[in-house]
């Protein structure tokens, strides 16, 4: 076990982009949060979002009415009347972010903030997904390119251990790093958003509500688990290309599925291969966003959990894990019997 852990640490030492890339994204996110507090941010709300929707008054509007004590406060009532009239007429209203969130219902507000946190997770996972793709393609090919594979084979390390260590880095370590970076990014957004909302008529506490911040962290952790399992066959396939390709493993990995999709389209006029590839690559990200549920955070959290359980128990998940095991066996076989001296 210590030897296996050392092999994975070696991968992180040699491929620093795995942990450097999320740091760069976090720095950019921090700069964006600072810029968002320096420059004024105004948003649009319509009749569906503003005080003219549903009952016509939000909780903040009711408090505003209750605060009217005399003639000197009548301007508050006039303001509410104007907002309601413009909303009923379908007009867009432009106002600071804090005031805009104050105008919508609590459920809508919480839902929008949860989606913002989920977007941070999606960006972080997509960035590290690209890093993981190039890592898997280069993991075994780099050893063959510089002939260091001969040195590693001279050590008391089996080909199975070598392949599995690289597979675990791509399928387990990278998603965990993405989840940790996503949660750190959500904290940056929470701090920056708290300041912004406090300065623009909102409440800083909105960013720290358990259903908001907790929902974002929950989504990041679950996304890491799903990505580790769902993309296992993709990672194993990339490692096979890295172990076998004489040159340019990226082309050897990408050309076969593209060729199959084109042949199917030309010969049969169908699109099954292309649909399969899209579903395999995009299903975990789609799990975070459900257009029919955005804006209702409690339902959205249950919907994400339902999507996860459905994805984990789907035939695609089970068949994918079987395919990953078969592909990994192929990677071990190629690495063990390939002649690296020629």
Identify the pLDDT of residue 170.
Answer: 94
User: Distance of CA 123 to CAs 15, 20, 120, 127, 324, Å?
Assistant: 21, 15, 5, 6, 26
Are 237 and 329 in contact by the 8 Å Cβ rule? The answer is: no
CB-based contact 136:171 (threshold 8 Å) = no
pLDDT of residue 300: 53
CB pairs under 8 A, 24+ apart, for 51-56?
51/80, 51/83, 51/84, 51/87, 51/103, 52/83, 52/84, 52/85, 52/86, 52/87, 52/88, 53/87, 53/105, 54/105, 56/84
3-class SS of residue 263: helix
Helix (H) or strand (E) holding 65: helix 59-66
User: Is the per-residue pLDDT at 177 higher than 80?
Assistant: yes
Residue pLDDT, tens place only, 52-90: 444 444 555 556 555 655 555 545 555 555 555 544 444
What is the tens place of the pLDDT at every residue in 12-59? 888 899 999 999 999 998 888 787 665 555 555 554 554 444 444 455
Q: Which of 79, 41, 43, 88 is nearest to 61 (CA)?
A: 79
Q: Is 212 a residue whose pLDDT tops 90?
A: no
The two structure tokens encoding residue 45? 């709300």
Integer Cα distance of 304 and 203 in angstroms: 27
pTM for the whole thing? 0.76
φ and ψ of 140, to 5 deg: -95, -30
When pLDDT is cut at 50, 70 and 90, the band that residue 104 belongs to is low
Q: Could you report the per-residue pLDDT of 258-299, keeping only the tens digit for each?
A: 999 999 999 988 888 988 888 888 887 776 655 444 444 444
Backbone Cα Rg of the chain: 26
* Domain boundaries of the chain, sorted by first residue: 2-40+105-337, 47-91
Taking the C-alpha atoms of residue 308 and residue 107, their distance in angstroms, rounded to an integer, is: 23
Tell me the mean pLDDT in the region 83-98.
53
pLDDT at 147: 77
The predicted pLDDT at position 261 comes to 92
User: What does the chain come to in residues?
Assistant: 342
């Amino acid at each position: 076990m210590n030897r296996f852990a050392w092999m994975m640490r070696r991968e992180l030492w040699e491929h620093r982009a795995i942990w450097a890339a999320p740091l760069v994204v976090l720095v950019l996110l921090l700069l964006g949060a600072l810029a968002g507090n320096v420059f004024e941010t105004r948003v649009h709300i319509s009749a569906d979002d503003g005080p003219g929707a549903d009952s016509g008054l939000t909780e903040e509007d009711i408090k505003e009415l209750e605060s009217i004590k005399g003639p000197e406060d009548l301007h508050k009532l006039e303001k509410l009347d104007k907002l309601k009239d413009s909303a009923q007429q379908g007009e867009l209203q432009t106002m600071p972010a804090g005031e805009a969130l104050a105008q919508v219902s609590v459920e809508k507000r919480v839902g929008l903030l949860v989606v913002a946190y989920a977007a941070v997770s999606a960006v972080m996972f997509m960035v590290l997904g690209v890093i993981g793709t190039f890592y898997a393609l280069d993991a075994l090919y780099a050893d063959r390119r510089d002939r260091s594979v001969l040195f590693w084979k001279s050590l008391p390390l089996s080909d199975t251990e070598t392949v599995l260590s690289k597979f675990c880095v791509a399928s387990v370590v990278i998603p965990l790093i993405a989840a940790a970076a996503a949660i750190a990014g959500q904290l940056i957004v929470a701090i920056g958003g708290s300041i912004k909302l406090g300065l623009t008529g909102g409440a800083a506490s909105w960013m720290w509500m358990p259903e908001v911040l907790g929902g974002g962290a929950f989504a990041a952790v679950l996304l890491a688990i799903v990505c580790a399992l769902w993309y296992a066959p993709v990672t194993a396939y990339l490692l096979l290309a890295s172990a076998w390709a004489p040159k340019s493993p990226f082309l050897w990995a990408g050309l076969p599925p593209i060729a199959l999709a084109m042949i199917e389209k030309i010969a049969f006029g169908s699109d099954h291969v292309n649909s399969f590839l899209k579903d395999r690559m995009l299903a975990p990200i789609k799990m975070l966003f459900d257009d029919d549920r955005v804006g209702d955070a409690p339902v959205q959290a249950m919907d994400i959990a339902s999507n996860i359980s459905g994805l984990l128990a789907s035939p695609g998940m089970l068949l994918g894990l079987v395919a990953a095991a078969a592909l990994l066996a192929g990677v071990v076989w190629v690495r063990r019997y390939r002649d690296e001296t020629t």
